[in-house]
């Protein structure tokens, strides 16, 4: 296995992120570090761009190592699925099978022999970055293998399977609208008697 692919696999973990910070050998240019005065938005954007470039280089290396070697122009959605399944065998996310007593249990109390897989969130984010990188590198949107229907269906299938197996909902949480603040009821206003006046009952 190519060391770049191994670096990629090692850094994909179960918290739904794929970081390729260790794959410096595949970078042709060094990324410039953000200055301390940069805003958090700039830092996030810079990390995303660096991540996207690394993912793109890693996929290119995978195509070169493919037997027979594949050119990007001949890459299809089926090859993308092959890539995802290849990565899946090195996953670190426990996905319970229906016969497992912990199926649907978000926090299993004991270990089990169920397989480890790539987390759905990691795969989904990876495909999003590769889809953008494909078009940024001259690919036509209508020919984007990362946006193929088969890839979308595969990701949906993985999401549903892992959601049920792990007892975790992947549905986007609806943002609660802020409740309008209720104005306090005004207290009835009674004029105070002048100083020295005696109250009569």
| pLDDT tens-digit readout, 2-59 | 555 555 555 454 344 444 333 333 333 333 444 454 556 667 778 999 999 999 999 9
| Cα separation, 90 vs 165, whole angstroms | 18
The answer, yes or no, to whether residue 81 has pLDDT greater than 50, is yes
Q: Among 11-20, 23-32, 138-147, 172-181, where is mean pLDDT lowest?
A: 23-32
**Stretch 150-170: mean pLDDT:** 89
- Distance separating alpha carbons of residues 4 and 19, to the nearest angstrom: 12
Write down the mean pLDDT value for the chain: 76
pLDDT at 26: 34
The pLDDT value recorded for residue 185 is 52
pLDDT of 92 higher than 60: yes
Whole-number pLDDT of residue 197: 58
Residue 102 has, within 13 A of its CA and on its CB side, a CA count of: 16
Q: What is the mean pLDDT of residues 67-93?
A: 90
Give the DSSP letter string of 90-148: T--EE---TTSTTTT-SS-SS---PPEE--HHHHHHHHHHHHHHHHHTT--GGG-GGG-
Cα–Cα dist 187/105, whole Å: 53
């Amino acid at each position: 296995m190519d060391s770049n692919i191994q670096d990629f696999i090692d850094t994909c973990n179960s918290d739904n992120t794929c970081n390729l910070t260790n794959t410096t050998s595949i970078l042709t240019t060094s990324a410039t570090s953000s200055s301390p005065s940069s805003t958090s938005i700039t830092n996030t954007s810079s990390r995303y761009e660096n991540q996207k470039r690394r993912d793109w280089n890693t996929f290119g290396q995978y195509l070169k190592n493919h037997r027979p070697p594949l050119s990007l122009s001949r890459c299809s959605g089926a090859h993308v699925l092959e890539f995802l399944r290849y990565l899946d065998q090195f996953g670190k996310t426990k996905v319970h099978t229906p016969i497992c007593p912990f199926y649907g249990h978000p926090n299993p109390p004991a270990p089990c022999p169920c397989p480890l897989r790539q987390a759905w969130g990691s795969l989904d984010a990876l495909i999003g970055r590769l889809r953008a990188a494909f078009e940024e590198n001259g690919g036509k949107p209508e020919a984007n293998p990362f946006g193929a229907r088969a890839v979308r269906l595969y990701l949906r299938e993985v999401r549903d399977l892992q959601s049920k197996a792990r007892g975790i909902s992947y549905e986007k949480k609806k943002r609660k609208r802020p409740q309008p603040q209720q104005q306090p009821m005004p207290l009835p206003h009674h004029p105070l008697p002048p100083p020295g006046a005696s109250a009569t009952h």
